[in-house]
Chain A
Amino acid sequence: MARAPSEELAGAGPVPRPPGLLVLEGVVAGYGGGDVLRGVSFSVPQGSITCVVGPNGAGKSTVLAAISGILRPRRGDIRFDGRSLVGRTPREILGRGVVQVPQNHSLFREMTVRENIEMGAFTLGDRALARRRLEQVMEMFPVARERARDKAGALSGGQQRLIEFARCLMLDPLLVILDEPSMGLDPRTLRTVFATIRMMHDQGRTILLVEQNARAGLRLSTHGVVLENGVVRLSGSGREVLDNPEIGALYLGGGISAGPTGQHPAGPRSGHEGGSP
């Protein structure tokens, strides 16, 4: 089973393209009122941190929904580790080792922190294994142990994010999908969240990340994908995307968009753009 990150990825320079752990090919999908994704193709290399950026409404979350089996693509294929995910249930996709932390807060507010984390292993038949995983996850996230008995709804936004991470690790996933994990966090919490993403990566997991804070997201990442209006505009190494002049101006808070006119494609939520040093 694919687990160890491929060594070729370290360092800068031209990035060789290892076969993608996750490969999207011409994915067309929507919610019934026209297509939101109009033929999306990109691949997430084994062991990478791949960051998807793009303006509001580009279809980033829709891509993630298609991968997790929440939304069934109308056309195209999504392959994970060589096998198609299209038509599989969310449960089966979890079983393949693909987990997702969604954009909005997704903890079960009236359950305790501990129950929430346990819900991460809902599909796991083996209860002894679930208990062992819970121990490991509590070890990784001290806040989870400290607040184990508190209602999840009582936690701060940043703490909730970390508990969501803890919950998604209960299945010991191969691919962790994170939809805008930094959203609404103060700079200090944001550093913790990014450090946690690195930790998950260091554990050998491949990360697929959507980031509104494009510069910080791409810096963290080995690979970048720019999604615009339901198609991939550009993809390459994180550096390549960061250094692309057009993209730099459009999404990365380059000189021209720093003006007071707010002509920023990222829209009203660009407030925390470049917020991390």
Chain B
Amino acid sequence: MGGAVAKAVVDGVLTGGVYALMAAGLTLIFGVMDIINIAQGILVVLGAYLSYVLSQDLGIGLFLGLLITIPSLFVIGVAVEWAFMRRLQERERTALSILVTYGVAIVIEGILELIFGPNYVQLRAWYVNQSFHVLGFYLPYIYVFGFALAVFLLGVLYLILYRSRFGRSVRASLQDRAAARLVGVNVERVSTITFGIGIAVTAAGGMVFGATNAFNANSGYDLISRLLTIVILGGLGSIGGALGAAVFMTVIEGLVAVLWSPVWATLVFYAALVLVLVIKPVGIFGQRAARAQ
């Protein structure tokens, strides 16, 4: 039992890091643009399939392949922003964005289903199959590698946001769009690039997800539900909040699975979401409420 609990916690923290990365993209997009990107889940699946094709058909390693998949998803993000998001009226943007990105998600899902069919697949590599022994249980290497990748990319994101001129313009737009415009920030350009970055992270998230789970074109729904729970729990628009909430939720999920039952574990996310929305709608990890107005 002790071993199972330890495994649940370690697993939770390691997968939590990967969810944190995917959720950071989602919450960043919301913070800067007031857009809730329902397509984030299916884009993770798209990222996983891209890695699948690269590794399966072209023999490019999963991590090396990220050098291709991350820029690809960045470009897809910029294209989606350009084609749809910038046409949304500022006033009703959040509500409209949910509909539009849902539409985008369905289109991507349909295309993936056409190409890859209904069968589940999983990414393969030696570090996916092999495990090592710690704290009385076996842990596949991919969990550690995936976590390291997520931490690395979150670090890069941090450096971009807090150590670059572009990052300053992102944070300014996130905190007060009108004021950002008045000091000369090109908020439209910042939004486009932010959308690209927010979606590019799904390439990495998708690779790790696809290596730790069997997936098909319909796997996006479960993912987006989890990601939305995480960003709402963390306080919409709060990156730090999303990190905390991601690890918190995956650890809780793991603990419920071993201490209670795996059936209940998946419900944990939704129960937590409802509880938080009732008790403290701005999220428990973020001090910052969703933008006023």
Chain B 171-197 interface residues, beta-carbon cutoff 8 Å to A: 171-172, 175-176, 178-186
* Chain B facing A: main interface SS: helix
Once A119-B168, A122-B168, A122-B169 are accepted as A-B contacts, the answer to whether A111 and B175 lie under 8 Å apart by CB is yes
Interface status of B288 (Cβ within 8 A of chain A): yes
User: What are 9 A-B contacts defined by CB distance under 8 Å?
Assistant: A89-B186, A99-B182, A102-B178, A107-B179, A108-B176, A110-B175, A111-B175, A122-B169, A123-B183
* Least distance between A84 CB and chain B CB atoms (Å): 19
Contacting pair A108 B172 (CB below 8 A): yes
> Which residues of chain B have C-beta atoms less than 8 A from A100's C-beta?
182
Q: Which residue of A lies closest to B179 (CB)?
A: A106
**A contact set with B: CB distance below 8 Å:** 68, 70, 89-91, 94, 99-100, 102, 104, 106-111, 115, 119-120, 122-123, 167
* Least distance between A65 CB and chain B CB atoms (Å): 9
* Least distance between B9 CB and chain A CB atoms (Å): 31
> Which residues of chain B have C-beta atoms less than 8 A from A109's C-beta?
175-176
> Which residues of chain A have C-beta atoms less than 8 A from B179's C-beta?
102, 106-108
Chain B 141-184 interface residues, beta-carbon cutoff 8 Å to A: 168-169, 171-172, 175-176, 178-184
**B contact set with A: CB distance below 8 Å:** 168-169, 171-172, 175-176, 178-186, 288
Cα-based distance from A120 to B172 in the complex (angstroms): 11
> Which residues of chain A have C-beta atoms less than 8 A from B172's C-beta?
108, 111, 119, 122
Once A110-B288, A119-B168, A122-B168 are accepted as A-B contacts, the answer to whether A167 and B175 lie under 8 Å apart by CB is no
Contacting pair B171 A70 (CB below 8 A): no
Contacting pair B184 A90 (CB below 8 A): yes
* Least distance between A272 CB and chain B CB atoms (Å): 23
> Which residues of chain B have C-beta atoms less than 8 A from A89's C-beta?
186
Contacting pair A167 B183 (CB below 8 A): yes
> Which residues of chain B have C-beta atoms less than 8 A from A94's C-beta?
183-184
> Which residues of chain A have C-beta atoms less than 8 A from B182's C-beta?
68, 70, 90, 99-100, 102, 106
Choice from A99, A106, A110 contacting B171 with Cβ under 8 Å: A110
Cα-based distance from A90 to B181 in the complex (angstroms): 7
Contacting pair A111 B171 (CB below 8 A): yes
Cα-based distance from A102 to B177 in the complex (angstroms): 12
Q: Which residue of A lies closest to B89 (CB)?
A: A32
Cα-based distance from A33 to B169 in the complex (angstroms): 30
